[in-house]
Structure 1
Amino acid sequence: MLIGYARVSTGDQDLAQQRAALKTAGCKRVYEEKVSGAKRDRPQLALLFDHLRADDVVTVTRLDRLARSTRDLLDIAERLDAAEVGLRSLAEPWADTTSPAGRMVLTVFAGIAEFERSLIHERTGRATAKAKGVRFGRPPALSGDQLALAQRLRDEGKRPREIAATLNVHVATLYRALSAGSGAERSAAE
């Protein structure tokens, strides 16, 4: 059975267009509410979930009527899937979990959301570690003492190839270390 869900955000908005579109689409029952989509506590949506049976299809005029965020949409879709219920959007034909293509699109969205969550976790973990003084990446090729020696030898007129040979590093490594060191000196002077 097709079951509709219609929602508007404020009391002064009208549900008539959504109701008509859902009835035209063949919905036998329509749950309606006037509440922000950002709220997780939506009484009519909860009631809809309570009355679902396997093989029902929850139909909305647009996905933003059902959920305000990708995470919220995926949570709802997972609940529907667990209840063996489909999801269909009239405005977004690709959002139809009763078809293989619609399930694939929702799976891609779920993968993107999971990827985004892992990036956020990684960024916040790195930020915390950096704040505690943890260094990331490869260790510097030259220690602070070696860098000071390289700068002194350069100031004395030694050629970069000689300095690099003395420190047992490639000349490109020496150039990078010296340019990074002079950038740090400039920052400290400012």
Structure 2
Amino acid sequence: MRDQTDTGTTEPIPSRLLLGYARVSTDDQDLTNQRAELHEAGCTKIFSEKITGTRRDRPELARMLDHLRPGDIVTVTRLDRLARSTRDLLDIAEHIQSGGAGLRSLAEPWADTTTPAGRMVMTVFAGIAEFERSLIVERTRSGRVAAKARGVKFGPRPTL
């Protein structure tokens, strides 16, 4: 496949791989439906695991992120299969984008970083997540100040 550039020359387009990621939280759950949806969406390689999303170390997710090449598209059935939180989603999306790849969700078409509108939505989410984080930090700081004013001591108890 070739693409014409602004100069009129043709340059090869790097081949795009559609990579799928499927995850269920417990051994009682089944990956069959997610794998079928990803295969139907055109994914040629599917990384799947049975592991809770609250764990930071998800080996198949790490393998998939290491496997990414520019032009690849990571596809998930739903965003909650990929990330534990908005911050986690944004971190993973940033990692994917920094590798020159894209991210799309079958259930949430607005979350498609291969389109300008999808990138804009993710940018807005990143701003909201940053704002939310700053609010949490400020509330925590205020709570500590108020607790200290009430005589609450922080840290371990003195042993002597």
TM-score bin, normalised by smaller chain: 0.7 to 0.9
Amino acid corresponding to residue 116 of structure 1 in structure 2: E
Q: Do structure 1's residue 69 and structure 2's residue 85 form an aligned pair? A: yes
State the alpha-carbon separation in 2 of the partners of residues 67 and 16 from structure 1: 20
Match of 1:15 among 20, 31, 47: 31
Runs of 4+ with >4 A deviation: none
Larger radius of gyration: 1
Structure 1 partner of 2:116? 100
Structure 1 partner of 2:126? 110
- How far residue 132 of structure 1 moved from its aligned partner, in angstroms, is 3.9
Greater relative contact order (Cα < 8 A, sep 6+): 2
Q: Do structure 1's residue 131 and structure 2's residue 144 form an aligned pair? A: no
Q: Do structure 1's residue 48 and structure 2's residue 74 form an aligned pair? A: no
Identity percentage over the alignment? 69
Structure 2 partner of 1:58? 74
- SS in structure 2 at match of 1:53: coil
State the alpha-carbon separation in 1 of the partners of residues 77 and 61 from structure 2: 15
- SS in structure 2 at match of 1:4: strand
Over the residues paired in the alignment, what is the CA RMSD in angstroms?
1.3
- TM-score norm. by structure 2 comes to 0.80
State the alpha-carbon separation in 2 of the partners of residues 50 and 71 from structure 1: 20
Q: Do structure 1's residue 83 and structure 2's residue 99 form an aligned pair? A: yes
Q: Structure 2: which 5+ residue stretches go unaligned?
A: 1-16, 150-160
Give the number of aligned pairs: 134
- How far residue 11 of structure 1 moved from its aligned partner, in angstroms, is 1.1
- How far residue 73 of structure 1 moved from its aligned partner, in angstroms, is 0.6
- Aligned runs of 1:144-155 on 2, under 5 Å? none
